[in-house]
Structure 1
Amino acid sequence: MSTEAGAGEATVVLPRRLALDARVGANKLRQLEVAAAHHVVRISPALHAGRVPVLQLESEAAGRILICPRRITPPTGVAGVILSDGTEADPLSYLEYQDSWRWLAPKPPRPQDARNLPQVCESVIASWEGAFTFREASHSSAGLRTPQLGALHALVGYWTARDDVATIVMPTGTGKTDTMIAALVRERLTPLLVAVPSRALRTQLADKFLSLGLLKDVGCISSSADYPVVGVIDRRIANAAEARELLGSCNVLVATMQALTQAVPEVQATLAEEASHLFIDEAHHIGARTWAEFRQLFADRPVVQFTATPYRGDGRHVSGRSIYEYPLRLAQAAGYFRPISFHPVYEFDPGAADERIAQAALGILDEDVGSGRDHLLMARCKSITRAEHVHALYQSLGRTDAVLVHSQQTQSEQQEAFDAMNNRRSRIIICVDMFGEGFDLPELKVAALHDHHRGLAITLQFIGRFTRTTPDLGDASVVANITDPRVESAIADLYAQDSDWNGLLSEISEGALGRHARRAEFLDGFGESADELPLQTIYPKMSTVVYEVDAARWHPERIGEAFDESKLFAEPAINLRSNVAVVIAFDDENVPWGNVRWLRNTTWHLYLIHYNEDQRLLFIHSSDNRGVHKELAEAVAGAGVSLVGGDRVFRVLGGIQRLVVANLGLKAALNRAVRFTMYAGPDVRQGISDAQLQNRVASNLFGFGYEAGSRASVGCSQKGRIWSYRVAEDISEWTRWCAEIGDKLADN
């Protein structure tokens, strides 16, 4: 070999090297000898055997390595040979293709040359003795993140006392996979069976187990610890004997739940007998009957379910004892999540909605890339037919580089699309639930929801893709057509599940008119005081009591004086811009069916307090209708408040045309034997005679009619309560209703 001029120095990533590449039946088993790593090397072009241009790399750690464009016979003294793309006329071009580098030599042992696999696995377990350290990350040193430490301590502690199903909830991007790997090594589990929902996640998870994730790099696992033997089920297991051999030949076995549940019963039973533990990733799928039945086979083995959301697709909680949940708000505060800007599109024509969504998403992508952000766009569709239509739309908008990915493509076609994204030949991918759960691509920062998701859990997972944070990446954006009630419902479900989405998902109305713009502005006025309350999903009934206030201003900071602080759900949420406060508190009382003092009925109540400065009226709504809440009114507006009651409340009937009274309460002025009479019916006025009305005064009334051309309902009581059958779509709508009521009460 002759060396040419042009030697220099470079930092390269040498690909991982396998120590073992074997099969049991049709399924692969692999073990790493060396993980992929950065090396500073001396480089120099050379000629191999006078014909093939190669690039020679040398370092003390890696030795002498050749990079070549085609297969060669390794010369003496060479530590390894790597195959690379590039131009033979310019060997330095081989460096540009490091993502595709693979070892030609040395080759891992062939299956028949491999040592006894059970003994290899035992050797791995022995090397893990004392190899794990609970090392916490800090500003100055690497280690486990806070949620990883919390989950791992919770799991280790749980296993000291119990071995039934445990559930760990960690938001997307906080390190679930490394937590699994840490548990594997810390507890020396073998063989561990890991079930995942998709092939893409199976490949990704198996690769991370192979290299022990980041745990060696951050110092949590000793450098002397062996890498595990990792098996992957991607072909049918023939019989129980093969299943037993497969588990006995690896430390970790990764499979899709589909492959496990479609195996014959004797194979499933053998896997359950031979595996020491079962980990289930993306466990919100456990509601599926086949998943639950397979998990049931592990009734006498420890099962751990990992998920980003504790809710199944049907809205119910994931079964199993929840032993650790890391809140979204802490994930965001720690920087694991970036905020998401929600950009609603308002388009009632379904035929035009796709183009509006695409134009909005492309505008965001172009702005992000133009500001130096390495962002990618994903357009989500519900079917292959829809994806093909949307793909054609993006191309018609001049984005001919947009790629399409769906399940009916060949693996090479899918890989070509992924490579285009990785190499930035394209920044736009149209997909049908690809890049789904567990797929790790932090640069995906713009989501175009051309079709809604099937349920809450999937929406959570999808949006979680876009919140991950890495250096030099900006915030994420989601575009959806808000006129589709199913999209609006899915977003509302996010807030209902976890109020922390209040701080993570903010609506960007961009000047759009209408209820959504007003709601976004109104909710923004609560600021951080609403972090623990899902204000977007509070739907109060239209009801209130009203107080006249003689003070110039109200004092919402005094709300706590009217409540037992121990019974508050959280600190009151206060909007000083709109003069609104929201309180959730509970009452408890003895059960009515016995004297059992340690059993109490607990009822949560909603309180809304709104002060209208122009009207000098204080409105109080409560789901607890047992009183008029004077103590609360005096706390926030002073002792001089006066309840609006008596005949004045009947002013709210003003403006109601064609009023039909459905309920009428009458008090007797003279008759002491019958003091109160209640009438109910489709039109009670038609059924009451003048004689029945003599010496009676109206106590309360409820009826239907028309106001401003629309059907309306209204109720009022001399005691001061005013109500309607309507349910507000948000709190701001209730405040607007209060203003309408106030105008009527003030009209002499």
Structure 2
Amino acid sequence: MDQNYFIEAIPNVNENNRLREPQVDAYKAVYDHLTIQRSKEHAIVVLPTGVGKTGVMGLIPYGNSLGRVLIITPQLVIKDAVLDSLDPEHPKNFWMARNIFSKFNELPSVIEYSSATSNWVLDAANIVILNVHKLQERLEKALIKRVPQDYFDLIIIDEAHHSTAPTWENTLEYFSSAKVVKLTGTPFRSDGEIIEGKYVYKYPLSKAMAKGYIKSLERVKYIPDALYLTLDRNDDILYSIDQIREMGLKEDEWISRSVAYSKECSLKVVLESVGILRSKRETGIPHKIIAVACSIYHAEQIQALYEETGMKVATIHSKLPKDKLAAGLNAIENHKVEVVIHVAKLGEGYDHKYLSVAAIFRPFRSRLPYEQFIGRVLRAIDADEVVSVEDNIAAVVHHVELGLEELWEFYKKEQEKSDVIKFIERGGSKLEGGNVTERIINKETGHVQEDGQGEFVSDSFINTELMKERERRLVEEREKLQKLKELLPDYPDDVLLQMVRRQEEGTAAEKILRPDKFISRKKRNLDDRIKDEMVPELIIKYNIDKEATDLGKSRLFQGKYAWIPVRVSNNAGMLASYLEFRVNEEVGNKSRPTWGPEEYAAALDQVEGIYAIMIQIIESELGGK
């Protein structure tokens, strides 16, 4: 193995239009944290499912690792997905597909670790990928029993919300001198434990929706006209849902579990999800349903209901033998089935972009597993493949009595923020499609009986100042180069200089060599903070109609700001204009084309204070949602 590979290799990152904005920005945030700031604290990166997390793992080692890299995944399905993307022998591996490198001999050597991996194969690898179970100390050939503590310079942990478990902690303690980067789409744990480290980069789900990196969402719930349950399956007395709650006969958890196991209620969800799927498939794209069941027995019941409609089904669960699991996964990838039913197997890390209908047949008691399941339908279908806007709107179908309202609220708000972002980007024009919608479904363990027809309800949701700046940055570059020379005395100057020049926001090189790009990026950061975060947050939190004009009466737009509601035709635009105008005032220079780095740095600082005051004013006038 070439110990210097990740330092000496020059990947195409900064100006690469084949990479997504969050991939580049996440990489640079990690580079700033680990290499420029030399922080020993674990770096945490939060990226929604479908944005390109595996690609970020493929970028992070460059410029950050002084040796071998270990990538740890929490389960085999995720490990296989990561290995598939980062397999240098595959012609469509991430580095070649995204134009990071143009020649195969420029790629790193990658291996999957197993007990059969020989020492010479292990020593030849730049990147070692394994499932966390291969690290367990009780195993005779566990990795940590075979290699010294300084064997890895950098450890990347996928799905980092698992990383507080003992096996993970023992591994990090053993390789304590290694730098650590943790990636996750769900930066919290059901048990409330804190993920150790510093959040160096977060990309909002709402922005990923607005940019089209992931699918938008539609929630479809079934609401029966009337629903009756027995208190146990042998009881002949029927009680309505309202009676059970008012009389305190059973808890909501019992009701939702009864509904989950009711064949009658499940059939309603099955039929609606199949109808949605058939409509989507009219475009010729092989959309699929992914369904989640309570147990293997329950999954077999659901499978029978789908098969009665003529659907071909693959049921995936942890008890399947390896050959049957592989056959099931192949059937999904090769479009041999229309429905995938899973039990605690494909909840995270499994990516198949044609999963477009999420059918829920079980209650979820916490946010983490619910979000992991919804994440399976979020991966967007490529723009050059879609036929209709509907192809990138995923549907979530369930019975109203599964008790999922509170969990859905997170996605509803993120989609609403996404709509605001798109509304602002289109200059206040009315949006077409892509909204989160909400439709209505009915269910049973007492026995469940439905009366009436019920209904489905949808819920949608550059100049002389820059030359001076260049000279100043040249001095900074020399200083940083000197520090790196002290840290890495055996490396040639040109290699060290390239390390300095990899960073965007914090590097001398980007600011020196492309001052025009530097300023445009600073402007983008300010615009994004205002239009993609602050304005959507205000509109959603205070239930403001983005297209209306009633906000013009607010105290915000009195006195010298009274011109804003006169010139701007909607509430979203008024809020954005107010923030931009106030920032210009505070910086003391109203002509942004003349702004340099100092002005933009001041603006990013000032906008936070202005935003805090806006919240106070709007709170006093409108109150919270």
TM over 0.5: yes
Supply the distance in 2 between the matched residues of 1:288 and 1:496 (Cα, whole angstroms): 31
CA distance in 1, matches of 2:559, 2:295: 53
Greater share of strand residues, 1 or 2?
1
Match of residue 80, structure 2, among 189, 197, 203? 203
Cα distance between partner residues in 2 of 1:323 and 1:403: 39
2:328 corresponds, among 417, 431, 444, to 417
Contact 1:167–1:304 (CA under 8 A) maintained in structure 2: yes
- Looking at structure 2, the residues matched to 474 and 499 of structure 1 have their Cα atoms a distance apart, in angstroms, of 16
Give CA-to-partner distance per residue, 1:563-610, whole Å, 9 cap, x none: 9999xxxx9x969xxxxxxxxxxxxxxxxxxxxxxxxx999869679x
Question: Which of residues 133, 136, 139 in structure 1 aligns to 2:15?
Answer: 136
What is the Cα deviation at residue 249 of structure 1? 3.5
Q: Which residue of 1 aligns with 2:373?
A: 462
Distance in 1 between the 2:188 and 2:560 partners? 30
Equivalent AA in structure 1 for residue 436 of structure 2: S
Question: Contact conserved, 1:311 with 1:457, CA < 8 A, in 2?
Answer: yes
SS at match of 2:15: coil
Question: Structure 2 CA distance, aligned partners of 1:565 and 1:285?
Answer: 53
Using the TM superposition, name which of 340-349 and 224-233 deviates more.
224-233
Determine the structure 2 residue equivalent to 1:268: 144
**Deviation string for 1:215-257 (max 9, x for gaps)?**
22333224153443323234489xxxx8x76642422111222
For residue 477 of structure 1, give the secondary structure of its aligned residue in structure 2: strand
Q: Distance in 2 between matches of 1:236 and 1:536?
A: 55
**Aligned counterpart, 1:279:** 156
What do residues 49-87 of structure 1 show as CA deviations (whole Å, max 9, x unaligned)?
xxxxxxxxxxxxxxxxxxxxxxxxxxxxxxxxxxxxxxx
Q: Which amino acid aligns with 1:463?
A: I
- C-alpha displacement of 1:562: 8.3
Deviation at 1:380, TM superposition (A): 1.1
User: Quick one: distance in 2 between partners of 1:297 and 1:246?
Assistant: 22
Q: Is the 8 A contact 2:6 2:61 kept in 1?
A: no
> What is the identity, as a one-letter code, of the residue corresponding to 1:291?
W
Secondary structure at the aligned position of 1:216 is classed as: helix
Aligned to 2:401: 483
Partners of 2:67 and 2:330 lie apart in 1 by 35
**Structure 2 length as normaliser, TM-score?**
0.60
Matching of residue 532 in structure 1 with residue 537 in structure 2: yes
Alignment of 1:93-104 (within 5 A): none
Q: List alignment gaps of at least 5 residues for structure 1.
A: 1-120, 539-552, 576-600, 610-619, 624-730, 732-748
CA distance in 1, matches of 2:110, 2:64: 17
Shift in Å at residue 166 of structure 1?
0.3
Does residue 303 in structure 1 map to residue 298 in structure 2?
A: no
> Contact 1:281–1:306 (CA<8 Å) still a contact in 2?
yes
- 1:366 and 1:189, CA in 2 relative to 1: closer, same or farther beyond 3 A? farther
| 3-state SS, counterpart of residue 254 of structure 1 | strand
**Residues 228-627 of structure 1 mapped to structure 2, 5 A cutoff:** 228-235=108-115, 247-263=122-138, 268=144, 270=147, 272-314=149-191, 318-347=195-224, 348=227, 350=259, 351=262, 352-399=264-311, 401-453=312-364, 455-469=366-380, 470=382, 471-472=385-386, 473-485=391-403, 487-494=404-411, 500=417, 506-509=436-439, 531-533=536-538, 535=540, 555-561=550-556, 622=623
Name which structure has the greater RCO, CA cutoff 8 Å, separation 6+. Answer: 2
Q: Deviations over 1:177-223 (max 9, x none)?
A: 11111223444553211111110111221232222833223332241
- Distance (whole Å) between structure 1 residues aligned to residue 308 and residue 157 of structure 2: 42
1:223 is matched with 103
1:417, CA displacement in angstroms?
Answer: 1.8
Distance 1:520 1:203 in 2: 35
* Per-residue CA distance 1:495-541 (angstroms, 9 max, x = gap): 5789747778723226999xx999959x9xxxx99732585899xxx
Partner-residue secondary structure (3-state), 2:171: helix
Unaligned runs of 5+ in 2: 230-258, 421-433, 443-451, 462-532, 562-567, 573-611
In the alignment, the residues of structure 2 paired with residue 565 and residue 464 of structure 1 have an alpha-carbon distance, to the nearest angstrom, of: 46
Q: Distance in 1 between matches of 2:95 and 2:134?
A: 29
Distance 1:127 1:329 in 2: 34
C-alpha distance in structure 2 between counterparts of 1:168 and 1:534, whole Å: 27
CA contact (8 A) 1:234 1:255 kept: yes
Verify the 8 A CA contact 1:441 1:465 in the aligned structure 2.
yes
Contact 2:70/2:154, CA 8 A, preserved across alignment? yes
Q: Could you tell me how far apart the structure 1 residues matched to 2:559 and 2:173 are?
A: 45
Using the alignment, how far apart are the partners of 1:335 and 1:219 within structure 2? 21
Is this contact kept in 1: 2:209–2:418, CA < 8 A?
no
- Check the 8 A contact 2:111/2:128 in 1, yes or no: yes
What are the Cα deviations for residues 272-328 of structure 1, in whole angstroms up to 9, with x where unaligned? 431111100011222434433433444432100011122223356533101111222
Offset, 1:332? 2.2
In 2, the alpha carbon distance for the partners of 1:519 and 1:533 equals 25
What residue number does 2:24 align with? 149
Distance 1:463 1:565 in 2: 47
Task: Give distance in 2, aligned partners of 1:606 and 1:418.
Answer: 54
> In structure 1, the residue corresponding to 2:189 is in which secondary structure?
coil
How far did residue 267 of structure 1 move?
5.2
Does the CA-based 8 Å contact 2:153-2:179 persist in structure 1? yes
TM-score by structure 1 length?
0.51
Cα gap change, 1:293 to 1:494, in 2 (>3 Å): farther
Cα separation, 1, equivalents of 2:458 and 2:619: 16
Per the alignment, residue 588 of structure 1 pairs with none
Does 1:213 pair with 2:124? no
- Whether the 8 Å contact between 1:284 and 1:457 is mirrored in structure 2 is no
Is residue 128–residue 226 contact of structure 1 (8 Å, CA) maintained in 2? no
Query: 2:396 & 2:457 partners in 1: Cα distance?
Result: 19
Which one of the candidate residues 167, 177, 180 is aligned to 2:57? 180
Cα contact 1:495–1:501 (8 A) shared by 2: no
Aligned residue identity for 1:132: P
Read off the aligned partner of 2:270 and give its amino acid letter: A
1:72-111, CA deviations, whole angstroms, 9 ceiling, x for partnerless residues?
xxxxxxxxxxxxxxxxxxxxxxxxxxxxxxxxxxxxxxxx
Q: Deviations over 1:674-711 (max 9, x none)?
A: xxxxxxxxxxxxxxxxxxxxxxxxxxxxxxxxxxxxxx
CA spacing shift, 1:136–1:170, aligned 2, 3 Å: farther
Whole-angstrom distance in 1 between the partners of 2:6 and 2:136: 33
Shift of 1:407: 1.2
Matched residue of 1:147: which SS? helix
Residues in 2 aligned to 1:262 and 1:478: alpha-carbon distance in whole angstroms: 41
Within 5 Å, give how 1:70-149 maps onto structure 2.
121-122=1-2, 126=5, 129-137=8-16, 142-149=17-24
Structural mapping, 1:672-687, within 5 Å:
none
Does structure 2 conserve the Cα–Cα contact (< 8 Å) formed by 1:236 and 1:259? no
Q: Deviations over 1:140-161 (max 9, x none)?
A: xx42211111011111111122
Q: Is the 8 A contact 2:333 2:352 kept in 1?
A: no
Q: Is the 8 A contact 2:220 2:458 kept in 1?
A: no
Q: Distance in 2 between matches of 1:537 and 1:317?
A: 30
Contact 1:373–1:474 at 8 Å: present in 2 too?
A: no
| 8 Å Cα contact 2:217-2:396 kept in structure 1 | yes
